[in-house]
Structure 1
Amino acid sequence: MRRKLIGAGLTAILTAAIGATTSAVAGADDKAKAAPKVTYADQVSGIFRSRCGSCHNPDKAKGGLNLDSYSAAMQGGGSGKVVEPGDPDNSSLLGVITHSEEPKMPPNSSKIPDAEIDLIRQWIAGGALEASGSVASVKAKPKMEFKLDPSSLGKPAGEPAMPKDVPTEPFMPMARPAAVVAMASSPWATLVALGGHKQVVLYRTTDFHLVGVLPFPEGTIHSLRFSRNGDLLLAGGGRGGQSGLAVAFNVKTGQRMFEVGKEYDAVLAADISPDHGMVALGGPSKIVRVYNTADGNLLFEMKKHTEWVTAVEFSPDGVLLATGDRNNGLMVWEAQTGREYFDLRGHAAAITDLSWRLDSNVLASSSEDGTVKLWEMENGNPIKSIAAHGGGAASVRFAKDGRIVSTGRDQRARVWDANGNKQREFDPFGDLALEAVFTQDDSRVIAADFSGEVRVLDPKDGKKLANLAINPAPLAVRLDLAKKAYAVTQAEADSLAKQLEPLQAPVTAAAVALAKAQQDVAALEKSAASRQAAVAAPEQAAQAKLAAWNEATATSQAADQLLARAQAEQAAAEKAVADAAAAEKAAADALAASKAGVEKALADKLAHDPAVAAAAAALKAAKSPEEAAKASAELTKHAARSGELISALSAAGTRQAETQSAVVRASAARAAAPAAVAPAQVRTRAATLGAQAAKQALARIGQERADAEKALADARTAAQTAAAGLAAAKKFVETATAAKAAAEKSITEKKAPLDAATAKAQALKAEVDALSAEAQRSPAKGGLAVGPQAQR
């Protein structure tokens, strides 16, 4: 007989939910009375006949659905009911004709007219009446609404669900651990659930602390699944050959939220859909049944399996449902309709476990044939077969990152990468390895065997981190052990603290010295920064003075060059005057010489003329040819000489004329030369004054430059002095730091055990407080006492 464990809080919630639903139904009834009735006979049958009759008639009845009569339409098809009276939103018939669900109807065609869709909607909302005289049937009132908004699937909006004040008193104390055949890890919280006989044990995976025990008095738990957002924990089980069901627990409160299934044998596999709307069950009946969590009613069932159904899991996106049986049958169904999607053939022995990859594109299956197979959901083909465990694979689980963990009859748990390559093989158990899961962050593996040993393992190095008890001791025993352990640990911490007291003074002194040194460094850093900043202004001034000095130097050089040119021009003008006087004198001397030459040539000519006259007279007086010839020859000689003298006289005359012209020119030049001297002298005087002024400016700017450079040098010296002081102070800080480190090192070796003991004592104190508070809330109940020896 099932025991219903519904607390006062849940009862209040259910009462409010039922009240709200009742009011809503009453309001709907009032509307139905006010509006004209829409019935199958008057309006809907005609639409079905014209729009759907070619496929859904008594002769064809595609998908097992016949809409030709009222009774056949209300019976539904092969996937169950298509009309939910009073609930259009959950009537699959409306979904397919509005093309919001698959398969869209009519197939390969546009929707039927909106007016006809509205009539069908009104018909269903009004209770799906057969005729005008029919009475509307009211859909069963839901116990509670559990469906989630699809946009909220996956990671919860707030903190992941963790048990809070959930009792940890074992419901069924056991002297010895039993085989762990059901295990689940929260997808978001640091929580793992272990299934046993009549109870679920919850552990925190960070410190391996027991945080809750959930009673399952209906029998042995064979299946555990957290909902995709981690808020619910679904437990499936029962008594073999007698009864079975699935129960959903609120993870935070431990309260039962709902239960579904009235099996006549134990539930071996169960899962809850991502939207919390459906639960799928499987077991020895060979039938997969899918229930509505809102009212617990059966939605549909699949009967294709030929042996016990051993594995059931919804895909993370909620679109598909995978199931496996003991006769190697592996099926994938449409989750919303139960229609067959894939029949996956490849295993040679019983299916032991199923797991979907987070993207819902790959399904992993484990089998007694020793393999783990990966199947793609595009065409249902196998993409990898892993020879995982000799003798048979018992479980398989995907991590969020795509890795896989599996267990098997070879007593091993193994981790595989996303491509099916072995990454880690853990030490063997003492018995068959039955279950293994990843923690929520994929950082740890929790595995269990047939003997009841549960290990927490590190997949990075394969080391065992802790053991978890499937049979925790009663609260009183754990409280007593915790008190004793706390007393011992606190005494150890107190002893270690006393040993540390003498070592604390050097650390304090070193810390004070270091703080003082650091303060000095801070002050010197400020001073050094100020000194360094003070260099900028003198440096800028020195650069400006250098630029001015360079400019003054260039000006002075230009003035010197101008003076040199003026002096050269004055010298040239003065030299031109002297040269003109000398040239005039030379021209006068040449003129005098030329005149003397003319006189001499004239004298020579006059002196020769008598000889010519005598020769002419002799020729004239010649009496004989001989005398005439002699006289003619003499005349010719004197005539030639006369010509020479005439030529010389002409040349002398020419020279005299030329020298007279030169004298005129020289006189003009001598007269003009003094006019250029005066301006040249003026320019020279001006250039002299400019050069003197430029030199004075250069000297002044040079002094200013020297002053600026001295100021810059002084500022730089001050900055260097401040930097040197800062460096010395920093050196002292290093020394003080080293001294403090040395002092701290002297107590580190003593402090580490103290910290560990203190932390352990604090943890034990917190555990004592928590267990004491729980003991006060829940008085001890009778049961099998389990002592420390039995726990081992």
Structure 2
Amino acid sequence: PAPRPQGAPTALAPPTAAPTPAVALAVSPAAPIAAVAGEAQIVVYDTETHHVEAALPFDDGHVTRVQFSPDGLWLIAAGGVGGRSGRVDVFDVVTGDVIGSVARQYDTVLAAAVDPYRELIAAGGSNRKVRVYDLLTDGVAHTVEGHNDWVTAAAFSPDATLLATADRAGAIRVVEALTGRPVHEITSDGGAVHELAFRPDSNVLASAADDGAISLWNMDDGARIKRVAAHSGAALSVDFAADGRFCSGGADGHVKLFDASGGGITAGGGFEPMGDWVYQVRFAAGGAQILAGAWNGKVQLYNAADGAVLWTFDTSPKPSQQVATARPQTNSPH
């Protein structure tokens, strides 16, 4: 069965006066669940029933990044308190237990990623370094140097061979995931890079930058394949679907969808603007849906085909969304 919470904690934190900005969300590749970071917790929802499946505590400041492992068994959460503390927690998706913490430091972890085999976690931030932690030995496998500004993004390639990292000055470093050997040094001319994403075939890296563009980079030679003018403000997020389509979110409040070659796809009447900076976009339902989070705390699930809004909620879940009892272990058809 697909990994999903069973007996994980579900007690919600008290609602905040205003919703926490929806800057960190993730969709499981293995089950119809999504994780949305709020105040002092990460809430896991069923994207079909919209019920709360788990509420995972994160007591160290704000969560900046969440990611499921490709097999859906783990959820990593990075964050912290600026100038004071930071870490990456690893949650068991089924039990909700924290099975490890890495990257404990004296500042927020701004960028984090887990590799496809659940052996490495990369973490970086204001110290301009990316440390890659070996979860088998509990040590640091290697450190990515060469960034001259805060590290803002990290991503492992789906084939687990490469690690890409980026910073606030627009530099992108691509190294061998296991060894840290440099592969490409890319200078994005669009200002700060806010997110990186690999195409599922690992041959193309996408970067979302301050100038509003999504750039596609060839991993054979590090050259730019295409620059896609996606947003009228900063491009803040980018994600790939299995078929090579990609979506983006930006400071203009818009969610955009593109075909594999970077051509814009008009989904019906387009995606309804979110009314604030769209900080995170993730494909869901095998690429049929897009989950998006904005600075105003709003989270929306869109139908990718026609742009219809399927679900709207925010980062401060209401008790009515909770399941009254744990789902019974029956041989139901679902």
Normalising by structure 1, we get a TM-score of 0.40
Question: Does the 8 Å CA contact 1:172/1:198 hold for their aligned counterparts?
Answer: no
2:30 is aligned to: 188
For 2:265, which of 404, 423, 426 is the aligned residue?
Answer: 423
Report whether the alignment pairs 1:175 with 2:17: yes
Q: Describe the superposition over 1:506-561 as per-residue Cα deviations: whole angstroms up to 9, x where unpaired.
A: xxxxxxxxxxxxxxxxxxxxxxxxxxxxxxxxxxxxxxxxxxxxxxxxxxxxxxxx
What is the CA distance between 1:210 and its match in structure 2?
Answer: 1.3
Structure 2 CA distance, aligned partners of 1:197 and 1:322?
Answer: 29
Q: Give the aligned residue type for 2:188.
A: G
Question: Does the 8 Å CA contact 1:175/1:471 hold for their aligned counterparts?
Answer: no
Q: Describe the superposition over 1:258-309 as per-residue Cα deviations: whole angstroms up to 9, x where unpaired.
A: 1111211000111111111111001111111011112422222122001110
Question: Does the 8 Å CA contact 2:152/2:195 hold for their aligned counterparts?
Answer: yes
Q: Give the aligned residue type for 1:435.
A: Q
For 2:300, which of 440, 455, 480 is the aligned residue?
Answer: 455
Structure 1 CA distance, aligned partners of 2:161 and 2:229?
Answer: 29
Structure 1 CA distance, aligned partners of 2:32 and 2:198?
Answer: 21
Q: Which runs of 5+ in 2 are unaligned?
A: 329-334
Structure 1 CA distance, aligned partners of 2:326 and 2:82?
Answer: 37
For 1:319, which of 161, 170, 187 is the aligned residue?
Answer: 161
SS in 2 for 1:228: coil
Q: Describe the superposition over 1:98-157 as per-residue Cα deviations: whole angstroms up to 9, x where unpaired.
A: xxxxxxxxxxxxxxxxxxxxxxxxxxxxxxxxxxxxxxxxxxxxxxxxxxxxxxxxxxxx
For 2:189, which of 347, 352, 355 is the aligned residue?
Answer: 347
Structure 2 CA distance, aligned partners of 1:179 and 1:316?
Answer: 28
Structure 2 CA distance, aligned partners of 1:451 and 1:205?
Answer: 21
Q: Within 5 Å, which residues of 2 pair with 1:63-462?
A: 159-171=1-13, 173-424=15-266, 425-462=270-307
1:738 is aligned to: none
Structure 1 CA distance, aligned partners of 2:57 and 2:15?
Answer: 11
Q: Give the aligned residue type for 1:303.
A: E
2:332 is aligned to: none
SS in 1 for 2:216: strand
SS in 2 for 1:364: strand
Q: Give the aligned residue type for 2:163.
A: L
Structure 1 CA distance, aligned partners of 2:165 and 2:199?
Answer: 15
Report whether the alignment pairs 1:468 with 2:323: no
Structure 2 CA distance, aligned partners of 1:769 and 1:182?
Answer: 27
Q: Give the aligned residue type for 1:312.
A: A
Q: Describe the superposition over 1:442-484 as per-residue Cα deviations: whole angstroms up to 9, x where unpaired.
A: 11111111100101111111111111331113x5xx38xx8xx
Question: Does the 8 Å CA contact 1:311/1:323 hold for their aligned counterparts?
Answer: yes
Structure 2 CA distance, aligned partners of 1:226 and 1:346?
Answer: 27
Structure that is richer in strand per residue:
2
Q: Which has the larger radius of gyration?
A: 1
Question: Does the 8 Å CA contact 2:39/2:316 hold for their aligned counterparts?
Answer: no
Structure 1 CA distance, aligned partners of 2:81 and 2:65?
Answer: 13
Structure 2 CA distance, aligned partners of 1:412 and 1:160?
Answer: 32
Q: Describe the superposition over 1:493-518 as per-residue Cα deviations: whole angstroms up to 9, x where unpaired.
A: xxxxxxxxxxxxxxxxxxxxxxxxxx
Q: Give the aligned residue type for 1:357.
A: R
Normalising by structure 2, we get a TM-score of 0.93
SS in 2 for 1:441: helix
Question: Does the 8 Å CA contact 1:321/1:332 hold for their aligned counterparts?
Answer: yes
Q: Give the aligned residue type for 1:375.
A: W
Q: Describe the superposition over 1:716-744 as per-residue Cα deviations: whole angstroms up to 9, x where unpaired.
A: xxxxxxxxxxxxxxxxxxxxxxxxxxxxx
Structure 2 CA distance, aligned partners of 1:346 and 1:284?
Answer: 19
Structure 1 CA distance, aligned partners of 2:92 and 2:10?
Answer: 15
Structure that is richer in helix per residue:
1
Q: Give the aligned residue type for 1:271.
A: A
Q: Describe the superposition over 1:636-672 as per-residue Cα deviations: whole angstroms up to 9, x where unpaired.
A: xxxxxxxxxxxxxxxxxxxxxxxxxxxxxxxxxxxxx
Which structure has more relative contact order (CA 8 Å, sep 6+)? It is 2
SS in 1 for 2:108: coil
Distance 1:197 1:408, change over 3 A: same
Structure 1 CA distance, aligned partners of 2:326 and 2:76?
Answer: 26
Structure 2 CA distance, aligned partners of 1:373 and 1:260?
Answer: 31
Question: Does the 8 Å CA contact 2:6/2:326 hold for their aligned counterparts?
Answer: no
Q: Describe the superposition over 1:693-731 as per-residue Cα deviations: whole angstroms up to 9, x where unpaired.
A: xxxxxxxxxxxxxxxxxxxxxxxxxxxxxxxxxxxxxxx
Question: Does the 8 Å CA contact 1:208/1:468 hold for their aligned counterparts?
Answer: no
Question: Does the 8 Å CA contact 1:405/1:413 hold for their aligned counterparts?
Answer: yes
What is the CA distance between 1:188 and its match in structure 2?
Answer: 1.8
Question: Does the 8 Å CA contact 1:284/1:307 hold for their aligned counterparts?
Answer: yes
SS in 2 for 1:344: strand
What is the CA distance between 1:361 and its match in structure 2?
Answer: 0.7
SS in 2 for 1:268: strand
Structure 1 CA distance, aligned partners of 2:42 and 2:128?
Answer: 26
What is the CA distance between 1:440 and its match in structure 2?
Answer: 4.0
Q: Give the aligned residue type for 2:283.
A: F
Question: Does the 8 Å CA contact 1:188/1:440 hold for their aligned counterparts?
Answer: no
Structure 2 CA distance, aligned partners of 1:415 and 1:303?
Answer: 34
What is the CA distance between 1:172 and its match in structure 2?
Answer: 5.1
Q: Give the aligned residue type for 1:180.
A: A
Q: Describe the superposition over 1:26-84 as per-residue Cα deviations: whole angstroms up to 9, x where unpaired.
A: xxxxxxxxxxxxxxxxxxxxxxxxxxxxxxxxxxxxxxxxxxxxxxxxxxxxxxxxxxx
What is the CA distance between 1:770 and its match in structure 2?
Answer: 4.2
What is the CA distance between 1:412 and its match in structure 2?
Answer: 0.2
Q: Describe the superposition over 1:322-366 as per-residue Cα deviations: whole angstroms up to 9, x where unpaired.
A: 001001011101111111110112332000000011111111110
RMSD, aligned α-carbons: 1.6
Distance 1:769 1:337, change over 3 A: closer
Structure 2 CA distance, aligned partners of 1:452 and 1:469?
Answer: 5
Identity of aligned residues (%): 38
SS in 1 for 2:184: strand
Structure 1 CA distance, aligned partners of 2:68 and 2:95?
Answer: 15
Question: Does the 8 Å CA contact 2:13/2:39 hold for their aligned counterparts?
Answer: no
Q: Which runs of 5+ in 1 are unaligned?
A: 1-158, 483-766, 774-792
What is the CA distance between 1:229 and its match in structure 2?
Answer: 1.0
Structure 2 CA distance, aligned partners of 1:437 and 1:246?
Answer: 20
